[in-house]
Chains A and B, each alone.
Chain A
Amino acid sequence: MEDAKLLLVDDEKGFLDTITKRLEKRKLKVWAVYSGEDALKELKNNTAIEVVVLDVKMPGMDGIETLVEIKKRFPLMEVIMLTGHATVETAIDGMKLGAFDYLMKPCDIDTLISKVKEAIEKKRQHDEKIMEARIKEISDRMV
């Protein structure tokens, strides 16, 4: 598999910086932003991003709002929710709104990576199917 390209969104700088370093060490391409608004900007400018890992509890735009916005603007983007809540309610809410999966903080780095890879897998398959559909459409047009 090609290197995964992901965007980390969390207001906890200490957590985010460390986990970025750890993921990069594991050959993942990581961008990190500290708020929902920044995440949306980053996604707009950077089309390489395949997966967003999104903290639920943030000041300003919180995780759920950001998720709704992302799904509106980039329907094919896969989002993994990261939650400090013990309640699965927010996670379930997130899943209903189109999140790929959820993880509880503090999370095991390997679990995170495997979830990210699953999400990327799904996105790539998705993209492929869209591509195929387009190819089919174009070739049909030729006939």
Chain B
Amino acid sequence: MEQSLTDRKAFYQILVRKITILILVVSFFPLILTTGLLVYRFHITYTDKIQAHISELVQKHTQNIDTFLSEKLGNIQYLSKLFTHNQHGPDAFLEKHLALLKDEYGDVFTDLGLINEKGIQFAYKGPFNLEFADYSDAQWFIEAVKKPFYISDVFAGLRGHPHFIIAVKIPSAESYNIIRATINFGAFNSLVESIHIGKTGIAFIINKKGHLQTQTRVEFEQSIITSIVGQNYKDYETIFSKKKESSGKRFLCVSSTLKNIEWLMVFRQDINDAFSELWKTQILTLVIFILGCIAILLVAFLLPKNIVKLISKADTKSESMNKQVVESGKLATIGELAAGIAHEINNPVAIMVEEAGWIGDLLEEEDLKECENLNEFTRALEQINTQGRRCKEITHKLLSFARKTDTTVNDVQINEVITEMVSLTDKMAMYNNITIETDLHEGIPYIRISPSELQQVILNLINNAIDAMERTGGKIKIETKPSAIEKDNLVIAVEDNGPGIPKDNLGRIFDPFFTTKAVGKGTGLGLSICYGIIQKMGGKIDVHSQVGVGTKFRIWIPFQKVTDENIENEDNKTIKES
């Protein structure tokens, strides 16, 4: 029994583990797959979208700046054409056209100047005093001489203000002149500075050497700028890259080339900033995922335990029911067997007793008064008679074990039956110095059972208690009450303070033919008959005993809750029957 208990515990543990693993696999696999797939796809889509958005923005601004530059270049080229046919002096020409340009574009053009092939500015109009300045060594002049037009990088120049220059060559018959315009750096810078995305998204322009052409708040590491410059550019195509500063900060870098000049438009944004929405979503997904995991873990570890607990309860119940079925089956089989044997034995015993009686008769008749063994004969015959009667008793008990005396079911008030049985046994108890106490709960409902069977059970338990305390004397306590443990059950407890039942015997007391009484005193059928009766009533009986302290038998008998409806139905029935 205990072996099977540990076996079962192991089985339940395996069951718990199996269910847990199953739940974990079945829940986690799709959860991880779905979450991973979603996060991955969302990441890709969102990154694409952001890249497309930024690219478009950068392209647009690149085009804007290109347009700005080509427009200004156009202006100066136009001026150069006009100058060829100029009739007035160069100063008047410059003054007139600077005024016109300022009129048209505001503060974009700072000044205009004309330079001869030797690099001497022979005519100048503007806020500075730069007439006859010598530009022959200036980088822009050297470049401008080589090409029909030239746009310089931004530089401080002679004046110390950042600016850049548009220079256009005016060829003449023998030599050439160069017309030069200074573009207000501020106006140009504002075009680029106006590009803002998020908190850290800014744009700037660098030349091919990697020098900044616009103002920016951000400091750049040279290696990064070199890597940006070193990329392969095509017209109007943006290049997308992720860079990492030496400090570990990662940022997004989008760059494209200008058409008119070898400058690069660069857009830069911290990755954290650019993808903040994506990461917010990802964090949210992660939180949901973790919550889901916790929920799954809870379910996976709690649910199987509960289920298995229920299963084990059901198992225990069905097992005890099986045991009961086996037990009652055993009793029934023994009952039938006993009845058969009893019938068969009864007749031979009857004959033996009769024959003994006949011998007795003959002994009286014959002239055997002098026979010295006459007394022995009579004693032997007497003994045969006594033993025959004992056989009869046993067979009769066996038969009553097989067939209950009166099984007619009736509404029975248990308390009355107990009182009746106590009054029957009171005398015998008194002779043995035993007192019987009763504690009968008032208002116990009637139950539908066979009263004579209940009498048999109660009488048996009381008799057993009396037998147990025959020598010592003691106290028997009989108690009835509605059961607190079993719902809709009555409990009858018969308790004595006798010697108790040893543990070895406790498991066998309901077995047929098990007795500890002296040979000829008990058949060992009393308690098994009780057991059978209680089983048939749908109740149960158990025993608690401690050697030296006493024994307590408890009987549970179910009762039906009598509702008004039931009573009505029964009334109708009786009317119909009558």
A84-98: which have CB < 8 Å to B? 84-89
Distance from A12 Cβ to chain B, minimum over Cβ atoms (Å)? 5
Of the stretches B66-74, B202-210, B357-365, the one at the interface is: B357-365
**A84 in contact with B361 (CB, 8 Å):** no
At the interface, yes or no: A40 with Cβ under 8 Å from chain B?
Answer: no
Classify chain B: how many residues form its interface, as a range.
20 to 34
Mask of B54-80 contacts with A, CB within 8 angstroms, 1/0 = 000000000000000000000000000
Determine whether the beta carbon of B361 is less than 8 Å from that of A22.
yes
- Mask of B336-355 contacts with A, CB within 8 angstroms, 1/0: 00000011001101111111
Tell whether, in the assembled complex, residue B400 and residue A87 are in contact, meaning their CB atoms are under 8 Å apart: yes
Contact A86 B400 (CB under 8 A): yes
For B399, give the chain A residue with the smallest CB separation.
Answer: A86
Q: Which of B122-130, B390-398, B419-427, B456-464 faces chain A?
A: B390-398
Least distance between B382 CB and chain A CB atoms (Å): 13
With a 10 A CB-CB cut-off, give which of B342, B349, B361, B397 has the most chain A CB atoms.
Answer: B361
Task: Across the interface, name the chain A residue whose C-beta is closest to B392.
Answer: A106
Q: Once the chains bind, are A25 and B365 in contact (CB under 8 Å)?
A: yes
Please determine whether A87 and B403 come into contact, CB atoms closer than 8 angstroms: yes
Complex contacts, B353 vs chain A, CB 8 Å: 106
A27 within 8 A of B: no
Alpha-carbon distance A22/B381, docked complex (angstroms): 15
Is residue A109 within 8 Å, beta carbon to beta carbon, of the partner chain?
A: yes
- Give min CB distance, B396 to chain A, whole Å: 4
A105 at the interface (CB under 8 A from B): yes
In the complex, A5 Cα to B350 Cα: how many Å?
A: 23
B549 to chain A, nearest CB (A): 37
Count of A-B contacts judged by CB separation below 8 Å? 62
Q: Please judge, given known A-B contacts A22-B354, A22-B358, A109-B357, whether A87 and B405 are in contact too, CB under 8 Å.
A: yes
> Which of B155-178 touch A at CB < 8 Å?
none
A19: B residues at CB distance < 8 A = 354
Check: B388 CB closer than 8 A to any chain A CB.
yes
Report how far A88 CA is from B452 CA in the complex, Å: 14
Would you call A114 an interface residue if the criterion is a C-beta within 8 Å of the partner chain's C-beta atoms?
no
Closest chain-A Cβ to B559's Cβ sits at a distance in Å of 28
User: Are the CB atoms of A106 and B396 closer together than 8 Å?
Assistant: no
Of all chain A residues, which has the CB nearest B400?
A: A86
Q: In the assembly, what is the distance between CA of A85 and CA of B396, in Å?
A: 7
Known: A12-B351, A14-B351. A86 touches B358 (CB 8 A): no
Please measure, in the bound complex, the distance between the C-alpha atom of A25 and the C-alpha atom of B399, giving whole angstroms.
34
A12 partner residues in chain B, CB cutoff 8 A? 347, 350-351
Taken together as a complex, chains A and B put the C-alpha atoms of A19 and B354 apart, in Å, by 6
Residues of A close to B351: CB separation below 8 A: 12, 14-15, 18
Chain A CB within 10 A, most for which of B343, B351, B352, B392? B351
Whether B396 pairs with A86 at a CB distance below 8 angstroms is yes
Cβ of A57: which chain B residues have Cβ within 8 Å of it?
A: 343
Given A25-B365, A106-B388, A106-B392: A84 and B350 interface contact (C-beta under 8 Å): yes
List of B residues within 8 angstroms of A106 by Cβ: 346, 349-350, 352-354, 388-389, 392
Bound-state CA distance A14–B353 (Å) is 11
Q: How far, in Å, is B347 (CB) from chain A's closest CB?
A: 5
Residue of A nearest to B344 (CB): A84
Residues of A within 8 A of B405 (CB): 87-88
B344 → chain A closest CB, angstroms: 10
Task: Say yes or no: is A136 at the interface (Cβ < 8 Å to chain B).
Answer: no
Distance in Å from the Cβ of B209 to the closest Cβ of chain A? 126
List residues 64-119 of chain A with CB under 8 A from any CB of chain B: 84-89, 104-107, 109
Task: Give me the 4 closest cross-chain CB pairs, A-B, nearest first.
Answer: A86-B399, A86-B396, A106-B350, A106-B353
A selection of 26 A-B contacts at a CB cut-off of 8 Å is A12-B350, A14-B351, A14-B354, A14-B355, A15-B350, A15-B351, A18-B351, A19-B354, A22-B354, A25-B361, A25-B365, A84-B343, A84-B350, A85-B343, A85-B399, A86-B395, A86-B398, A87-B405, A89-B403, A104-B392, A104-B396, A105-B346, A105-B392, A106-B346, A106-B352, A107-B350
Residues on B lying within 8 angstroms of A by beta carbon are 342-343, 346-347, 349-355, 357-358, 361, 365, 388-389, 392, 395-400, 403, 405
- Chain A residues packing against B (C-beta within 8 Å): 12, 14-15, 18-19, 21-22, 25, 57, 84-89, 104-107, 109
- List 11 extra interface pairs beyond A22-B354, A106-B352, CB under 8 A: A12-B347, A14-B355, A15-B350, A19-B354, A25-B361, A85-B343, A86-B395, A86-B398, A88-B405, A105-B346, A106-B392
